[in-house]
């Protein structure tokens, strides 16, 4: 059975996937099509763990494009990573924090941590659990900037609205038909000042986050 539907839109800029494979992946041809756009500093609408987001390679040009799309000059974007090696290249964390992040990632949690090149500055990172998103990031070989679509769609996550609103704003749109329900935002935490702060409860509950964190505290005491 075909994994995707050829787009009826101009320039083949909409990729409609009926259903992910059992392991959460998609055909390699689709990965290639998406990475081709991203490599050219293009902007893509992509489902990240069931939340549709606007993404592009993490560089100043793409950052400028994203700010224009969402009409914000000050917005800071989450960096999506696909390995702990990427974490180490972007941030400075303690062994305790590193082990804690290993317990919650890959997963629907964004963590604010000290930036590697300047520990007085913060960076927001997320290691998505979606296999096909991990494959895209690995193929690109560098992190992706991401921001939620809802600011632009005025709260709508309907596929028809996503296509209507973004077709002339981005270079490609990826729609997964089985992901049609409203989904909680990722949980947002901060480790910036050396302590855990839960800034926004989301898909992963505050209690679950705390249990993973304090599990590490118990391990250190043993």
pTM: 0.90
Output the pLDDT for position 145.
Answer: 99
Output the pLDDT for position 178.
Answer: 85
Mention every residue, 6+ apart, whose C-beta is less than 8 A from residue 63: 77, 145
Q: Which residues of 151-177 are buried (b: 16+ CB within 10 A; e: fewer)?
A: ebbeeebebeebbebbbeebbbbbbbe
* DSSP secondary structure string for all residues of 72-88: -SSPPPEEE-SSHHHHH
Distance CA 19, CA 21 (A): 7
Output the pLDDT for position 220.
Answer: 54
Lowest mean pLDDT segment, chosen from 10-19, 40-49, 197-206? 10-19
Q: Domains along the chain? A: 8-82+128-180 (3.90.870.10), 90-125+184-222 (no CATH)
Output the pLDDT for position 5.
Answer: 40
Q: How confident is the model at residue 182 (pLDDT cuts 50, 70, 90)?
A: confident
Handedness of CA 75, 181, 173, 51 (dihedral sign): positive
Distance CA 5, CA 91 (A): 39
Lowest mean pLDDT segment, chosen from 87-91, 130-134, 154-158, 179-183? 179-183
Predicted confidence (pLDDT) per residue in 109-135, tens digit: 999 999 999 999 999 999 999 999 999
Q: What angle do CA 176, 67, 92 make, to 5 degrees?
A: 85
Distance CA 37, CA 27 (A): 16
Distance CA 40, CA 38 (A): 5
Mention every residue, 6+ apart, whose C-beta is less than 8 A from residue 23: 131
Residue in 106, 109, 115 with CA at minimum distance from that of residue 135 = 106
Q: How confident is the model at residue 35 (pLDDT cuts 50, 70, 90)?
A: very high
Mean pLDDT of 4-26: 72
Determine the 3-state secondary structure of 48 from DSSP: strand
Residue in 222, 28, 210 with CA at minimum distance from that of residue 103 = 210
> To the nearest whole number, what is the mean pLDDT of the chain?
90
Residue in 22, 18, 13, 25 with CA at minimum distance from that of residue 3 = 18
**Residue showing tokens 């409860």:** 201
Please, are residues 101 and 54 in contact by the beta-carbon 8 Å criterion?
no
């Amino acid at each position: 059975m075909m994994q995707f539907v050829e787009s009826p839109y101009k320039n083949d800029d909409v990729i409609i996937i009926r259903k992910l494979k059992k392991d959460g992946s998609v055909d390699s041809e689709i990965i290639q099509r998406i990475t081709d756009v991203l490599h050219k500093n293009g902007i893509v609408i992509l489902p990240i763990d069931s939340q549709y987001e606007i993404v592009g390679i993490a560089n100043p040009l793409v950052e400028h494009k994203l700010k224009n799309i969402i009409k914000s000059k000050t917005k800071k974007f989450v960096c999506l990573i696909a390995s702990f090696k990427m974490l180490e290249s972007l941030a400075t964390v303690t062994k305790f924090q590193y082990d804690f992040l290993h317990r919650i990632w890959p997963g629907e949690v964004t963590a604010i941590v000290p930036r590697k090149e300047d520990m007085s500055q913060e960076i927001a990172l997320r290691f998505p659990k979606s296999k096909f998103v991990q494959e895209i990031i690995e193929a690109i070989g560098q992190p992706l900037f991401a921001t939620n679509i809802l600011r632009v769609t005025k709260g709508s996550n309907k596929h028809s609205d996503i296509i209507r609103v973004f077709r002339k704003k981005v270079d490609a749109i990826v729609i997964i038909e089985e992901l049609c329900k409203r989904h909680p935002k990722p949980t947002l935490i901060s480790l910036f000042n050396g302590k855990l702060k839960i800034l926004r409860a989301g898909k992963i509950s505050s209690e679950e986050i705390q249990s993973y964190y304090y599990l590490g505290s118990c391990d250190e005491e043993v």
